[in-house]
Structure 1
Amino acid sequence: MARIAPIPLERMTVAQRHLHDRVASAGRGAAVGPWAVLLHVPEVGEQLAGVVECLMSETLVPPKLKRLAILTIARAYAAPYEWAVHEPRARAAGLDAAVIEALRTGARPDFGDPKEALVHAMTNEIVLARELGGSLYSRAVDALGEPAVVELVALIGFYIALAVLLVAYDVEAPDGASAFGP
């Protein structure tokens, strides 16, 4: 994290320590990645932690489709931390290894599941064109239902914001490697 210094535990304010502990107890072990940046504004970090908890809970969008959207965003923004954290979770959620590799390399994935193709198309259109066209939106509502589409668009928007934060602060993958090549 070249742009902002991590805050040592012993120097954290009460609010920073609360956010650190909340994030650490959610299975991350410590406030790393975007959370290390957000410790500098714990009031914002607390609110965003709540959004993550909501979006990643048992909701209308299946975990595999959530992780597909997140990996699509991570690749589009070249956010190695986001990729490194969510790639194993996408595999665990059942996203095909060939799809993951195609996303990683920037190739067009060959989706066996039409819902995966739809989520990928939606995410790409929102990220790259900064819109969601009427035809694609209608197909998404028909396939997923309107409440799930609202949830998915909220997830896409949130993870775009996290990708921007990660890129702006040069947050590297935990192992320091780039998932996308040299």
Structure 2
Amino acid sequence: MSAEQVVRPVDSLRIEGTWQWLCRAVDEVGRPAPGQTITLVPAVGDGGNPALCSVLVVPPMPQSAHVARDFTRAALADRAGGELVDDMAVTVSELVSNALRYGRAPNSPLEPQPSLWLAVWDRLPYAVCAVTDDSDRIPVEGHPDEFAESGRGLQVVSALSDSWGWNLRAGGGKTVWALFRL
């Protein structure tokens, strides 16, 4: 598994364990059916797993970012404060938008249907938002000129999260994640 951690690490060992769990879960569970929401229940006594992990396959439609923001707010409402949940919802919106725009596998005639993963730990003060897609194309933070109307999504993710990065998936594609300290 390759990975790149970007921006202000908080506690590198805990961060590594946190997003590694999520990346393993993505590879093991695979993609849920379109429109399906699942909640992963961690094994009893396994302190490394999150207390909550919800997954939503995001449909390729104009209101996808809105659907992802609402899902994030509902899933994390009693786990984090309002402003932090808003930051996470905006981050998810940017990650989903990028996955829908750039997440198609090469030569695939199918519309991308990214999966949104939200994980929260009771024993660790972190939440992770992650979006998977079918492309191996590595995300790169853009530096558009001041008049550009797009290209700032990962700058927003970088500004709102404590850390973000990406992992290539075992079966192809990638997971782009953002970590938040609760």
**TM-score, length of structure 1 as denominator length:** 0.33
Q: Give the structure, 1 or 2, with the largest relative contact order (CA under 8 Å, sep 6 or more).
A: 1
Q: In proportion to residue count, which structure has more helix?
A: 1
Q: Which has the higher strand share?
A: 2
Say which one has the larger Rg.
1
